[in-house]
Structure 1
Amino acid sequence: MPAVQSWPRLARARIVVSSLLFLTAFGAAASPSVNPALRSAAQRDLGLSPTQLDRWLQLEREAPQRAALAQRLLGAHYAGSWIERGDDGAVRLIVASSDPRAAKLGPGVELRQVRYSLAELEAAKARLDAGARLRLPGITRPIDGLYAWHVDQASNSVVVRMAPQALDRAIDFAAYSGADSGVLRLERMDVAPQATSQVYTGVAYQKNGAPSCSVGFAVRQGATKGFVTAGHCGVAGESIWMDGAPIGHIVASEFPVADRAWVAIGDQHEVLPLVTNYAGGFYFVRGSYESYHTSVVCRSGYKTGYQCGFVNAKNVTVNVGGNGPVYGLTQTTACAGFGDSGGGWIDVGEQAQGVTSASNIPAGSPHNCGMFGAMTWFQPVNPILEQYGLTLVTL
């Protein structure tokens, strides 16, 4: 393999320019306001010191531009980027490259050499998705026991989470899909994802008078008021109740494939850009700018209240409750319980992120809070707004 020193002079010059770009473009970053209560909740749930959280939030602000620049510089060899806390406690931005000759990308960025490019990982994940849309001959549900799969940039693999007894099925499914087996990493998952069905953001609502789910975010479609929630919480036409009285109905719903729905409510009801923290306080909804991979996010739902975690994967395919795959979910380390479905997620800048879809809740338990390896997935909110022509109600 040629050494860096053997590269043409022009290439070496580009490396110098690249480093300067990282140095000058990100020498300072604007500091958006962070809600103090959200900050406190994040520290509580994520185990970060004040200094570590400050650094993490700084990198969240810088990461999208840094990652975009790294992708332009590395080209086809770009293998992803993320924020992580090292064994020494330091919080760093990592950029991965499949090119062993890649040079450093400038101060504050750790370059990590990996085998596969991000394009190769995403191609393998797309093959699994395509395979899930089909059915093996003679088998009704070839993905039973296969719970979720996603591109995991930090491990440079496509992680497939499966039931303990589903190894053979996972291997067969991967082979059937045509995905490169070398890219896949099979991980045991003892608890299956379950739809958390059991309505302002986070407050409970009922379907046809019976306990159901949690409100996502207040929206409008023209003059019509309403809110978004999870698709598995009900089908179009069903009556939605709150505080013992009907307030509206489900206009549209999709589940599986996606997990999204929106509810129209009567004009006499007010819709507010608020998120309840179940401790007597509220946060505002200020927009829906999508947070970065490894960002801090928090969710509100009537069953387990207000919980925070990290985004550790995007565009995850999850086999929710054995009903078939839901595509494009975001995976987090926050916990949830039955009844939290549909509840809204925000980041520490009070930007709406999504609505709760599923969580790996153990059999016989009402939630997975306190469980090692707790995971909860949410349906990103912007695709819901786009799909149904909705406008988010914001401050």
Structure 2
Amino acid sequence: MKRTTPLRAAVAALLLTVGLGGAQAGAANAAPAPTVSAGLLDAMRQDLGLTPRQAEERIRAERAAAGVEADARRTAGSTYGGSWFEPATGRLVVGLTDRSEEADVRALGADTRLVRHSAAALDRAKSRLDRLPAPAGVAGWHVDPKANSVVVTVVRADRTAPAVHAFVERARRTGPVTVAETATAPRTYAAGTVGGDPYYTGNVRCSIGFSVYGGYVTAGHCGRAGAAVRGWDGSAQGTFQGSSFPGDDYAYVGIHSGWWTVPVVLGWGTVPDRLVRGSAEAPVGASICRSGSTTHWHCGTVLAKNETVNYSQGAVYQMTKTSVCAEGGDSGGAFISGDQAQGVTSGGWGNCSSGGETWFQPINEILGRYGLTLHTA
């Protein structure tokens, strides 16, 4: 950032020094143990109900599961029926449509479950559903590997509305579909201008996602391409170089000279600021945390991937759903799992007093869309 307090500068410098030293030391060992701060353990205790020991064990297990997932998908081939992390066992579970590849998948370190539908078939069903116009009473839809179905989520108060009923009936003709309910419709998390440590465009306040070389990524609904951006101190910070919403919900802000990027996600005093070391995708069921300028730091789990979210402004595709809460102004903020970037906050329902669910746009899609390189430690 352009200007900062001596305390923030000292913390950032210390993080970079310690983090880079840790990275160099880790290179000498094939599989360095993940570093877990006391603050992160406390956040996982508060939001996930885990003891410090349980949190440490879960982080290690999730990292191992993430490493197995891609290999399991390749090994299973056409029999792959999706996968998810199972907290009770600390292992990745892989759905298989037949047992021909079961032994090879288990040899990778995953458990298996026999399912009826392949992941490819479920993805095709969801793609067909994506082409249907959805009424406001339909919150969204996604492939649920554990249920081995496409789940259509409807707003509880609208579940008997004729338009919602008609959409669900059409959805069932696209493939295997189950229906779930939500209390309220999803909304984006932009907010009017208030104090804090955000960025601003017009009278909207949003949150920075992740640093990339030349700027940072954030939510597309926060500003259109060409819009000017002011930093946390109100001074000119940069310009939206690209933005997409609805359809997608991501954007790239290029920063002016005098500002700089660092591979850090703010912990807001709840946890120490987190270094970003990569963007390996966490599996369904894994723990995940979010940083935003309104509600700061909260944790939860990954509930679903590739969900279509039906906002009032239009549908957004390929989103990841989480049990993490968020509120206005948190839009664009970082979702991170351990030290791996996951995505930028889009929207959700609920709040951080009563709870809720929040979606994010996956980071690797954003990097690929704009040809960006994540700034890592």
Work out whether 1:275 is the aligned partner of 2:265: yes
CA distance in 1, matches of 2:342, 2:159: 32
Instruction: For 1:303, give the aligned amino acid.
Output: T
Q: Give CA deviations for 1:279-328 in whole Å, capped at 9, x if unaligned.
A: 174111222222222222111101101011111211111012x1111011
Deviation at 1:330, TM superposition (A): 0.9
CA distance in 2, matches of 1:71, 1:260: 27
Indicate which of 189, 209, 213 corresponds to 2:206. 213
Q: Give CA deviations for 1:220-262 in whole Å, capped at 9, x if unaligned.
A: 2xxxx32111000011222211212222221211100000111
The equivalent of 1:156 in structure 2 is 148
> Residues 46-85 of structure 1 correspond to what in structure 2 (within 5 A)?
46-64=48-66, 66-71=68-73, 74-85=76-87
Work out whether 1:314 is the aligned partner of 2:314: no
Deviation at 1:100, TM superposition (A): 7.3
Where does the alignment leave 5 or more consecutive residues of structure 1 unmatched? 1-28, 133-141, 362-367
CA RMSD of aligned residues (A): 2.6
SS in 1 for 2:299: strand
The equivalent of 1:119 in structure 2 is 120
In structure 2, do the counterparts of structure 1 residues 110 and 337 end up closer, same or farther at CA, with 3 Å as the change threshold? same
Instruction: For 1:99, give the aligned amino acid.
Output: D
CA distance in 1, matches of 2:139, 2:185: 6
CA distance in 1, matches of 2:102, 2:250: 43
The equivalent of 1:382 in structure 2 is 364
CA distance in 1, matches of 2:259, 2:106: 53
- Same amino acid, percent of matched pairs: 40
Q: In terms of Rg, which structure is larger?
A: 1
SS in 2 for 1:289: coil
Q: Give CA deviations for 1:76-108 in whole Å, capped at 9, x if unaligned.
A: 33322212234xxx4443232333788666486
The equivalent of 2:188 in structure 1 is 195
Contact 2:242 2:251 in 1 (8 A): yes
Indicate which of 233, 236, 239 corresponds to 2:225. 236
Deviation at 1:125, TM superposition (A): 1.1
Q: Give CA deviations for 1:339-363 in whole Å, capped at 9, x if unaligned.
A: 0000111111x111111001113xx
In structure 2, do the counterparts of structure 1 residues 65 and 262 end up closer, same or farther at CA, with 3 Å as the change threshold? closer
Indicate which of 284, 305, 308 corresponds to 2:275. 284
Number of aligned residue pairs: give it: 338
Where does the alignment leave 5 or more consecutive residues of structure 2 unmatched? 1-29
The equivalent of 2:286 in structure 1 is 295
CA distance in 1, matches of 2:372, 2:72: 34
Instruction: For 1:262, give the aligned amino acid.
Output: Y
Deviation at 1:128, TM superposition (A): 0.8
In structure 2, do the counterparts of structure 1 residues 34 and 294 end up closer, same or farther at CA, with 3 Å as the change threshold? farther
